Amino acid sequence: MVNGDQGPIAERVRRVVERVPDVRLVTLRDYAILGWTDVVADHRDEIGSAMLQFLARMNRTAGAKSVPPAAGEGEIAGISYRIRGAGPPLVLLPLWLSPSQWEPLVPRLSEQYCTITLGGIELGAVAILESRGRAVGYVPMVRTLIDTMQLQPGETVLEVGCGTGVLGRWLAHHTGGANRIMGVDINRYLLQEALALVRKEGLEGAIEFAEGSAEALPFPDHSFDVTMSVTVIEEVDANQMLAEMVRVTKPGGRVGVVARAMDMPFLMNFRLRAELRAKVEAPGAIGNVAERGCADASLYQRVHQAGLTRVKMLPQLTTFSRADTTVLQYLQDALFPKLSREEAQEWQGARAQAEAEGTFFMTWPHHCAVGTKP
């Protein structure tokens, strides 16, 4: 396991490692790992050496057999694969939102192993983003954002931080292809998945994608009628992102932003002791925010300061139920490092009972703001 020694996740990882036997922890000095950190690109040599040492020790113990040289790629049941190299098989699962994923290390690993790199909509962050974007309790928030921006047929739309394009695809279906939609994201890995999903749904003519940073959008001034972003402003320089969104929006156009609300409590509709409920429903219990990011009600002031007028402020609750298994697993995985073993067991038991009774749901609070460019 690889961990940094800084940032909000470092201590949680250390706590998890203490509970798992026979884990080798590699700590990267003066480094913080967040969900979107390009960790392998930043520490290729250190991580590569640690992996090869660990794998060599495992091979001596397990006696792994080599496979013939292989190369190829494809997809099975929504899971994409790419095979390179020869030697004992080595399966590489997705690295959450890391832009480069394993690519900086694959050439070195493939010299000794048959590397099988997996991806697709059924694994990792892609599965989470797709599941969340399609959730019955999440779509109403997006629809409220679109309705408040008063999107008209023929207007151009930019989604900043589009990820897998799940919201852009929903919008293309929702409007019947009446709008040209552009998605921009800094993450090459997610854009590759987004393109594949657009092709699968036959939306090639309705949605385009570009690689670029939310803090320096690769478009001229006054390019779009509507510019929107959903749960991205937490991860960037929030004020710079807003300035860029305003810059590329046409005069009279609308800008809409949604941020996770780490200053508002969660709601978990199952029976818990008061002490445990206070812990798991506390503001900020789940999620992270970058140093200059925005994940609180300051969003509304920032939108005004960015020069937008006729600002509408719309706090929202998104609801997830038993059917949203992928999202719920993510929420549980994010929450459990903060709990003791006994608390985690109590939480799981209470959730299972509520699911059996048909009363289970969880809410995730968000801040939403829409303004008009003068």
Domains of the chain, earliest start first: 34-120 (no CATH), 126-372 (3.40.50.150)
pLDDT above 80 for 114: yes
Residue with tokens 């393109």: 195
Question: What's the Rg (C-alpha) of the chain?
Answer: 22
Predicted TM-score (pTM) above 0.85: yes
Rounded distance between C-alpha atoms, residue 206 and residue 202, angstroms: 9
Are 271 and 359 in contact, with CB atoms under 8 Å apart?
A: no
The confidence score (pLDDT) of residue 227 equals: 99
pLDDT digits (tens, 9 = 90+) for 295-324: 999 999 999 999 999 999 999 999 999 888
User: Does residue 20 surpass a pLDDT of 90?
Assistant: no
Helix (H, G, I), strand (E, B) or coil at 136: coil
pLDDT digits (tens, 9 = 90+) for 148-182: 999 999 999 999 999 999 999 999 999 999 999 99
Residue 260 binned pLDDT confidence (cut-offs 50, 70, 90): very high
pLDDT for 186-242, tens place per residue?
999 999 999 999 999 999 999 999 999 999 999 999 999 999 999 999 999 999 999
DSSP labels, 275-341 = HHHHHHSSTTSS----TT---STHHHHHHHHTT-EEEEE--EEEEE-TT-HHHHHHHHHHHGGGS-H
